[in-house]
Structure 1
Amino acid sequence: MVNQNKKNIEQKLAFSILGLAMLLVIIPTVLIIGFIIYKGIGAISIEFITAMPRRGMTQGGIFPAIVGTLYLVSGTLAVALPLGIGSAIYLTEYAKKGKVLKIVRLAILNLAGVPSVVYGLFGLGLFVLFLQFGQSIIAGALTLACLILPVIITASEEALKSVPQSYREASLALGATKWQTVRSVVLPHAMPGILTGAILGIGRAAGETAPILLTVVAFFLPRLPKSVLDQVMALPYHLYIISTQIPNMPEEIKYGTALVLLGIVSIFFIIATVIRIKFKISKKA
């Protein structure tokens, strides 16, 4: 009886500590988002979202920066998702277990912790200078793809490993090939976890400044890009510029820009979450 009471007390204490940790994360996040909405909602208008910037970006809108951000995030996902998922499939389903595989996985984990400015210098050297893409959308998207690949690969690997081995064995026993098993059995069950990795990648790609600073963004470019070899404005760098480099910039424009960036990231999150929920529902059915 005494031992049971002790276990109950320890369990309640553990739950209390975990609940407190959750509150310490959630409350500051909610306060930050609420503060940005409060300070920036006054700047949000049709003109602010759809107009070109003018008079040194102190008037007009941020439409080129919005379009540039959407192009970069879309291009990044188009490159990083197939490569990341394909790499995870190979490492989980096809690669031989051994020291080499452990070294590769350790390298991927280490790459996830590399500072973003290092990726920016890598993109500058490889895509801008060596491959001669110049400062362009394609150079920026490829650099951001390199940045989020470790996150997507790691999340996809864990999702693939979570699929029970019995599913694979049953499929193979019915005469399916290895690839048919991966494509029709393993991937559908792992897709919710894979999309979680994609969500994390989206958040990082949309908010980075250092990699795009060296590979794609322009200080002031009041026009839309005509090809993937053009420079663009982007919301993270635009927010940095108007907050630090332009004197007498109205505060509501700064916070309004931050609010728009937050909204774009949220839209991508919602789309990915809806797709993930649909996969979960179809898996249960």
Structure 2
Amino acid sequence: MPSPVMAPQPLALNATRSRDARRRAMEWLVFMLLRGAILVVAAALAIIVGFLVKNGISAISWEFLTQPPKNYMTEGGVWPCIVGTLLLSLGAMAVALPLGVASAIYLHEYARPGTLMRIIRLGVNNLAGVPSVVFGLFGLGLFVTAMKLGVSLIAGWLTLGVLCLPVVIGTAEEALRNVPSTYREASLALGGTKWQTIWKVVLPCALPGILTGSILGVGRAAGETAAIMFTAAVFYTPKMPTSIFSDVMALPYHIYVLATAGTEIELTRPIQYGTALVLIALVLGMNLAAILLRAWLQKRHAH
């Protein structure tokens, strides 16, 4: 009998090759777009940093880094601002990190899916998009006025802690989600309670990811102006903070004051750029320390 009529093999092979070629072309195009986006971001960052270095490097000196402002802030340095920014950033994370991790543990490990969970997640996501000036007014109304804490470190810590909470909750919950479920099952099978499993198994595995949230939170807290101008930062103070109820100077607010409300705005232009350069270096240093700690924890956990 004659064999049945079949489609010519070369046609099917050509069609397959054509599809593969289109797929490779699309993949190449997408990767080029992604690389282009990365290059645009990197170029923008390089331009900003280069502009600040060009205009602010002349102001950087040992006196600038270790002395307080002088002569109506047209001379001197930014040492009180550096100390105030460090205290505000670290205090904000001391408030946000425990609350954020505890909230993430509840949302991921204990809460049951349902309407309430969706409302909570929607609230957290919306909180992340609230402008920082709203947090500043919230801190002014609650911590400064209602709780009578005044313009102080503690009021700034609480305000910045609330501001950083959505970032910490989101990254901590994602870190908990990435811990394999087999770890939990093995711990429970060996007789551990749910809390023992979370404390001794899940959290150590998720800690590097949680530190990612703290890195983002520190960066945001250190660079905020609107949230602290109502609650913690002052125009000028010659004294270093002596308690949690002391007011402080801060680098971002100092830049704002010099650029908008100073007595000699043009005269202080190099100081403005120099202060911005110090702020970037400070944030970079804190982020680098957190990244090194995260890498050390990841290496320790791998072994």
TM-score relative to the length of structure 1 = 0.97
Q: 1:111-260 alignment to 2 at 5 Å?
A: 111-246=127-262, 247=264, 248-260=266-278
Residue 244 of structure 1 deviates from its aligned partner by 1.7
Contact 1:243 / 1:249 at 8 angstroms: preserved in 2?
Answer: no
1:281 aligns with 2:296: no
Q: Give the Cα separation in 2 of the matches to 1:250 and 1:96.
A: 56
Letter in 2 for 1:269: N
Q: Give the Cα separation in 2 of the matches to 1:249 and 1:165.
A: 61
Q: Give the Cα separation in 1 of the matches to 2:59 and 2:104.
A: 43
Contact 2:85 / 2:251 at 8 angstroms: preserved in 1?
Answer: yes
TM-score relative to the length of structure 2 = 0.92
Q: Give the Cα separation in 2 of the matches to 1:243 and 1:282.
A: 46
- Segments of 5+ residues of structure 2 without an aligned counterpart are 1-16
- Segments of 5+ residues of structure 1 without an aligned counterpart are none
Q: Give the Cα separation in 1 of the matches to 2:217 and 2:242.
A: 26
Partner of 1:265: 283
Counterpart among 50, 58, 65 of residue 34 in structure 1? 50
Residue 192 of structure 1 deviates from its aligned partner by 1.6
1:62 aligns with 2:78: yes
Q: How many residues align?
A: 285
Q: Give the Cα separation in 1 of the matches to 2:206 and 2:53.
A: 36
Query: For 1:215, what is the secondary structure of its paired residue?
Result: coil
Counterpart among 86, 89, 95 of residue 79 in structure 1? 95
RMSD: 1.0
Q: Give the Cα separation in 2 of the matches to 1:37 and 1:74.
A: 26
Query: Structure 1 runs of 4+ off > 3 angstroms?
Result: none
Residue 283 of structure 1 deviates from its aligned partner by 2.1
Residue 190 of structure 1 deviates from its aligned partner by 1.2
Contact 1:224 / 1:232 at 8 angstroms: preserved in 2?
Answer: yes
Q: Give the Cα separation in 1 of the matches to 2:175 and 2:72.
A: 47
Q: Give the Cα separation in 2 of the matches to 1:2 and 1:164.
A: 40
Residue 249 of structure 1 deviates from its aligned partner by 2.5
Counterpart among 90, 96, 102 of residue 106 in structure 2? 90
Cα 1:271–1:95 change in 2 (3 A) is same
Residue 141 of structure 1 deviates from its aligned partner by 0.9
Cα deviation, 1:145-190, whole Å, max 9, x if unaligned, reads 0000011001100110111111111111111111111112111221
Contact 1:43 / 1:256 at 8 angstroms: preserved in 2?
Answer: yes
Letter in 1 for 2:19: N
Q: Give the Cα separation in 2 of the matches to 1:251 and 1:72.
A: 25
Letter in 2 for 1:265: V
Q: Which has the larger radius of gyration?
A: 2
Partner of 1:13: 29
Contact 1:136 / 1:229 at 8 angstroms: preserved in 2?
Answer: yes
130-139 or 218-227, which deviates more: 218-227
Cα deviation, 1:87-132, whole Å, max 9, x if unaligned, reads 1111111112211111101100100000111101110011001110
58-67 or 31-40, which deviates more: 31-40
Q: Percent identity, please.
A: 52
